[in-house]
Structure 1
């Protein structure tokens, strides 16, 4: 498993940034959908 991780710090940084972007966009989409549902209920 450890052999799959590249030694190049640039590649590691790019992968970490991509994972962070995916994670934050997921949280943003989930919050937006939940607020949209609350608004549709006529709260």
Structure 2
């Protein structure tokens, strides 16, 4: 029965991790874009 648990973990982990990483990556992208816009506004005379 242990190998079934291992197989289940191998199948479940990517399904749980990939969306979390994707959402985190999108969040970081939005934050960096906002920071760039803020920098442009500040640096602009």
What is the TM-score with the length of structure 2 in the denominator? 0.68
Give 2:34's aligned residue: 31
Aligned CA RMSD, in angstroms, stands at: 1.0
- The alignment of Structure 1 onto Structure 2 pairs a total of residues equal to 35
Structure 2: runs of 5+ lacking an equivalent? 1-10
Which structure has more relative contact order (CA 8 Å, sep 6+)? It is: 1
In the TM superposition, 1:1-43 aligns within 5 A as 8-42=11-45
User: 1:37 offset after TM fit, Å?
Assistant: 0.2
Mark the structure with the bigger radius of gyration: 2
Moved over 3 A (4+): none
